[in-house]
Structure 1
Amino acid sequence: MKKSIKLAISLSLALVVATGCSSRTEPTVPDKPAIALYSTAQQSLQAGNFVSAIETLEALDTRYPFGPHTVQVQLDLIYAYYKNSDTAQALANIDRFIRLNPSHKDIDYVYYMRGLTNMGADYNLFHDLFNIDRSDRDPSYANAAFNDFTRLIKRYPQSEYVADAQKRAISIKSRLARYELSAAEYYMKRKAYIAAIQRAQHIIDNFADTESRTGALKVMIKAYDILEQPTLKANAKKILAANAN
């Protein structure tokens, strides 16, 4: 009986060992010199195969941390993560690059990529694809993207990325204003009129150059009317009429 138990245990251990050995796989990225791996990564990037590019670039970063393409590998990884919609990894690598290379000649590009990454995270495929209004969704990434582009514009006004950053900042500003308007309208539905007026005033103060300004004034007019504030209502109506001209 004891011999049978020992035999069963031995067979089980052998099976575990055999299974463990058979489950070992060769490294996804072959062991090649840095220059060869870098060439492979560039081919993947150019082909739009970002998963493969990331695997190769990560291997390069790990195996050759002080190689001839170290800095460019980091820049390429940031781009590849962004294109692969890997927000967390892209932002982590961006922050690391800024921390280690604050005066690098391409630091403006890195700030630009942080804006693009945050903007991409805010992007909602179903919103654009099916024209679903989701202006009430969390604006955290939009706020971060706006700050990134604003920082780029202020710190590096001569950067080649400034023109595009300015266009994107305008678009994001409109998105943030729509969020504030959604909040104001929500408060109106809940009959929290003071809170609605405050959110509407925030739009007037900070997003006066967006289309949401009109909606904010309408919220204020309605709220002041309900609160029986004729003077404030009249002032809001006067501003709305002036904007319409």
Structure 2
Amino acid sequence: MTALRPALTLLLIAVLASGCAGMRQDPTRDWSASQLYEEAKAALDRGNFDQAVEYYEILEARFPFGRHAQQGQLEIAYAYYKAQEPEMALAAVDRFIQMNPRHPHVDYAYYLRGLINYERDQSFLNRWIPQDQARRDPVPQRNAFDDFGTLVRTFPDSRYAEDSRQRMVHLRNRLAAHEMHVADFYMRRGAWLAAAQRGRYVLEHYEGAEAVPDALEVMVKAYRRLRLDDLAGDALRVLELNFPERAERLRQGA
């Protein structure tokens, strides 16, 4: 009889656990698509992004078709973005664009994609310890530049177009500064051709960036080191035409 007690105890625990599990029913079990969407949207508006994500995921799983699910596909991307889950946010945006290429809010999807990439390197550490933007990984910034560019080209009259243009200006300066940071690295190590190529890349891809005069100056110096006097002269003439003070300073230091 004594030997049966442990087994009976385990059985009683299992029965009680099963009963408790049965009592913890899913509160959303009987919700309609409309209620799920409204609750998800309310959580999103409250800033409860994890709760919003949960409700949007349930909505898509239970009601994969219809206007609520379609709108939820876009809003869950924003919820992931605000919850600082950029990979999930990008996946949700890409899925929405692929499935709804003619949706009236697809311009916002491209804008949101740009925002996600724009802020991808804004980690907790970076927010509290300032870092040189030019030294950060440029890939998310390039992706953001392309995303905003797609929006501006495809939807020039979008309500998000002007903000996208302004962000592109900022990104262009960031990306050009990064190229010049790399060019400076090459110059200090005597890799003249690599430095000149970085300067040329800035001229070709980031016209109007703040780093353009730096790029021309690097090209002049690097081509001189390589004894490519014609190319150095061409770069110097462009510098003289557009930035005469920089050209004069370069001549004096030559």
User: TM-score band (shorter)?
Assistant: 0.7 to 0.9
- Change over 3 Å in CA distance of 1:125–1:189 after alignment to 2: farther
Q: Summarize deviations over 1:11-50 as a string: whole Å, max 9, x none.
A: 8975995798599694676323333332222221111111
**SS at 1:208 equivalent:** coil
The one of 28, 31, 37 aligned to 1:30: 28
8 Å contact from structure 1 (residues 127, 133) kept in 2: no
8 Å contact from structure 2 (residues 53, 76) kept in 1: yes
Shifted more, 63-72 versus 45-54: the winner is: 63-72
1:137-148 aligned within 5 A: 137-148=136-147
**SS at 2:135 equivalent:** coil
Q: Summarize deviations over 1:172-197 as a string: whole Å, max 9, x none.
A: 11121112112211211222111111
**SS at 2:157 equivalent:** coil
1:176-191 aligned within 5 A: 176-191=175-190
Counterpart in the other structure of 2:46: 47
8 Å contact from structure 1 (residues 221, 237) kept in 2: yes
Counterpart in the other structure of 1:170: 169
1:72 is aligned to 2:81: no
State the percentage of identical aligned residues: 37
8 Å contact from structure 1 (residues 126, 132) kept in 2: no
Distance (Å, rounded) in 2 between the aligned partners of 1:171 and 1:28: 47
Shifted more, 65-74 versus 182-191: the winner is: 65-74
8 Å contact from structure 2 (residues 133, 174) kept in 1: no
Distance (Å, rounded) in 2 between the aligned partners of 1:29 and 1:218: 66
Partner AA of 1:187 in structure 2 = Y
Distance (Å, rounded) in 2 between the aligned partners of 1:155 and 1:79: 21
- Structure 2: tracts of 5 or more residues without a match: 245-254
- Change over 3 Å in CA distance of 1:22–1:178 after alignment to 2: farther
- Change over 3 Å in CA distance of 1:49–1:104 after alignment to 2: same
- Structure 1 residue 125, shift from structure 2 partner: 5.5
Counterpart in the other structure of 1:152: 151
1:160-239 aligned within 5 A: 160-239=159-238
- Change over 3 Å in CA distance of 1:160–1:223 after alignment to 2: same
Counterpart in the other structure of 1:101: 100
Q: Summarize deviations over 1:78-99 as a string: whole Å, max 9, x none.
A: 1111111211111111111122
- Change over 3 Å in CA distance of 1:226–1:69 after alignment to 2: same
8 Å contact from structure 1 (residues 34, 60) kept in 2: yes
- Structure 1 residue 216, shift from structure 2 partner: 1.1
